[in-house]
Structure 1
Amino acid sequence: MSVEKDTARAPSPFKDFATKLDRAIARGLNKITGLTLAPYQAAVVRIGFALTFGLYLLREWPHRQELYGTTSPWGLDLAHRLVASNHAFTVLLWSSDRLWFELVYHGTILACLLLLVGWHTRTTSLLFMIGVLSLLNRNVLLGDGGDTLIHLIASYLVLTRCGQVWSLDARRRARAAALGEEDRNPVGVALWGLCGLGLALAQITGFAQLPWGWVLIFWGMWLIQALWYWAGRSRFSEVRGVLDVTANLVHNSAMFVIAAQVCLLYATAGWYKIQGPRWQDGTALHYPLHLNYFSPWTPLSQALDSGSVIVTLITYGTVIAQVAFPFTLLNRRVKNVLLAILMTEHATIAVICGLPFFSLAMVVADMVFLPTNFLCWIGSRVSSTRNRITRPLRRDKEPQVAGAKARV
């Protein structure tokens, strides 16, 4: 009888497993909904891609009209036909006036700069996306793999909370918290109202040629931003809590999609290379080194191509690294080693093949997988260097401030 009671009271292995599983799921859900995951990686994506596209626009500034403007060989009529077939988004086709093109081009450069420093990232990330899509979809024949990646990441970046760290937004919030005040952010409200007014006027006057899908996207984001501002000043803390949870979910999902996009990029590139005969026999690197377009430094290209063993090793190593990269995410140390190899490879491509912006975009995309501790260490080193540079300036200002206070 006692044996039966002890058996009945003994915990079931299945129940123990179910309890542990429930706890693990609860911890995972609390982490996903209660935390903004990978804030430093999101900041790296924001800074890196804003810098990459901004530098690209500055380099092409003398040729902007021939590339994307009114004097482009890919005329407005051809662009209208292509956009009508692929339903791409671009504001450059709203008007054929050169002034409109100049406003969009230079406005995109300004959006890159503001997003780079993290000034009101919720709005500037949207303006950055509009500028990127408008320019790249105006003439798709100019794009390469780097432009395609910027095109995708700019769309994902809107959904992230990329201004949590390393931004002017973070510094503003930190100052408000130090003073015990709420972050009212009147400039952000004014910027939000100005964007809504501009969109409304463009639609009312018929200037904006927006499909209904994009109309819903833009006005939906505008209303969400209005709800966010209202919740920050409302007495109902539950509304702000719900918005925080939703924002965390959207941010974490977007960061997962960015990471998955990089893995998909490497996996597809590697497997397509495997199917090519030149990659199979190890001679694929030999051919671009003899093309003038990919040989800005001819002696360097000839020196690299002089050794057949080196060409074969680099060719096979590239395929192995790209195919293996998604699987190395299961092991942190192997992943970090392969990341260093891939970044070195892209830096080499930038120099030897003359593709700086493609390589920079790929390196920034790889940084999504860098460890948080390493990114924090880099941030601390940059901050210490900045403090050493600006310390003499602060010392010069201190006597002036002290004298002004004494006179008061």
Structure 2
Amino acid sequence: MTAPATSRQPAFTALRDSTLDGWTAFTGRVLAPYQAAVIRIGFALCFGGFLLREWPHRRVLYGDRSAWSLDLARQMLAGNHAFTVLAWSGDRWWFETVYTLAIAVSVLLLLGWRTRAMSVLFLVCVLSIQNRSVLIGDGGDNVIHLMAIYLAFTRCGTVWSLDARRRRLHPGRGVDRVGVALWSLLGPALLFAQLTDPGGTGMLSPGLYSWSTVFWAFWLISGAWWLLDRRAPDGEARAVLDAMATMLHNCAMLVVMVEVCFIYATAGWYKIQGSLWQGGTALYFPLHLDYFNPWPGLSQQLAAHPIPVFLISYGTVIVQVAFPFLVFNRRIKNVLLVLMMTEHAAIALTLGLPFFSLAMISADAVFLPTWFLVRTGSRISRFATPHATLVRSRFARRSEPPRSAEGVTTI
């Protein structure tokens, strides 16, 4: 006996309304804006800090003195179609320019200055530096590599950025002349790189052409965005572009979440197969390696107690394996996040891997609760505002012109 049609109608209406609300939120609301800002700040700080730390050794790692010569790099690039602008020339000036530009782009992305352009340039810089010497790096570099790609598709400057501050202080401001100038400069540069085989090697076109499609798409969409924003800011085409950008952002954030789950799932399941992790002694051996021993006294104290070593080894495996399955439980997820971030902070301290730990903590931040990020941001803002006001007042007093004895300003 079937139920009457009238009894099924409320359920169908509720399902339809919830579907429409979800679609409206997916296309019209930027989801997880604070998490995207934390990821932007964290990975820009991680990559820029790494480049600054390796500044004395930059030529040995990625430049003209590298053991992985330019010829070897070009042979590998011809096979895997990877992209790096450092393979265009072996001159030192070119390497120094790209390396310095990568640091500058990291700082600008961290500050949130023209984040749409800086996120794409950050992607170019990360690919160029890492693909120059593929045998250098660790798991943190792989995470930066992936997250740099995802960041280019997000609206990571919605909050906690100079762009957001500019929009808040000047809501009705006209054309962004700096942004237009930057857009006008990047287009011809991309065209020149695509049409003129830089360096004359004849081997770089596969990687360049495969990525140029993505770069041209970013450039054309940004131009169309600016044109429609100027001609018809309230038009349908402008609304469609905005909805597309929002959908790309939401999809990219979802991919970031899935990627973090994959990282922990694969790490945990591979650890389970290892005999050292099964025996609970995996942590003992890195503590005795000079390469991972920045604080010998601390490492020796920890290695001298087998029970903490056993508990940390087993706890690491349990947390990494359980996280992808418990991520949907809000309370348990927050507890696991605290444990994993504490673990990465301990790795940075005991094993001397600060940038690996910072990369993983930045990736974990995608699961942090919004209320926690908002509250933390408010506290930092309240703490920083008085100090910034004091610095500005002191600078203003120092920059005032001298006054004569009668109080008249002298020039």
Please state which band the TM-score falls in when normalised by the shorter chain.
over 0.9
1:142 aligns to 2:136 (yes or no): yes
Match of 1:344 in 2: 342
Deviation at 1:226, TM superposition (A): 0.6
Q: 1-side partners of 2:6 and 2:184: how far apart?
A: 61
1:335 to 333, 336, 340: 333
Match of 2:75 in 1: 81
Match of 2:390 in 1: 392
Residue deviations 1:153-204 (CA, integer Å, cap 9, x gap): 0000000000001111111111222xxx245211000000011122223334
1:195 aligns to 2:186 (yes or no): yes
Q: Partner of 2:198: helix, strand, or coil?
A: coil
Match of 2:404 in 1: none
1:175 aligns to 2:169 (yes or no): yes
Match of 1:323 in 2: 321
Specify the code of the residue in structure 1 equivalent to 2:331: R
Matched-pair contact (CA < 8 Å) for 1:146–1:361:
yes
Q: 2-side partners of 1:58 and 1:225: how far apart?
A: 31
2:152 to 158, 169, 172: 158
Matched-pair contact (CA < 8 Å) for 1:104–1:131:
yes
Specify the code of the residue in structure 2 equivalent to 1:306: A
Q: 1-side partners of 2:391 and 2:294: how far apart?
A: 42
Q: 2-side partners of 1:183 and 1:26: how far apart?
A: 34
Q: 2-side partners of 1:205 and 1:30: how far apart?
A: 45
1:225 aligns to 2:222 (yes or no): yes
1:213 to 194, 210, 214: 210
Matched-pair contact (CA < 8 Å) for 1:300–1:352:
yes
**TM-score (norm: length of structure 1):** 0.92
Matched-pair contact (CA < 8 Å) for 2:83–2:127:
yes
Residue deviations 1:112-163 (CA, integer Å, cap 9, x gap): 0110100101101111110000111111111110000000000000000000
Match of 2:114 in 1: 120
CA RMSD of aligned residues (A): 2.1
Alignment of 1:7-406 (within 5 A): 11-13=6-8, 15-177=9-171, 181-207=172-198, 209-211=204-206, 212-235=209-232, 237-395=235-393, 397=396
Matched-pair contact (CA < 8 Å) for 2:138–2:356:
yes
Matched-pair contact (CA < 8 Å) for 1:65–1:71:
yes
Matched pairs, number: 394
Matched-pair contact (CA < 8 Å) for 2:39–2:362:
yes
Task: List runs of 5+ in structure 1 lacking aligned partners.
Answer: 1-6, 402-406
Task: List runs of 5+ in structure 2 lacking aligned partners.
Answer: 401-408
Q: 2-side partners of 1:358 and 1:44: how far apart?
A: 16
Residue deviations 1:284-318 (CA, integer Å, cap 9, x gap): 11111111111121111111011111111111000
Q: 2-side partners of 1:110 and 1:122: how far apart?
A: 15
Q: 1-side partners of 2:192 and 2:164: how far apart?
A: 32
Specify the code of the residue in structure 1 equivalent to 2:128: S
Matched-pair contact (CA < 8 Å) for 1:176–1:183:
no
Q: 2-side partners of 1:304 and 1:223: how far apart?
A: 56
Q: 2-side partners of 1:129 and 1:10: how far apart?
A: 55
**TM-score (norm: length of structure 2):** 0.92
Specify the code of the residue in structure 2 equivalent to 1:221: F
Q: 1-side partners of 2:123 and 2:290: how far apart?
A: 33
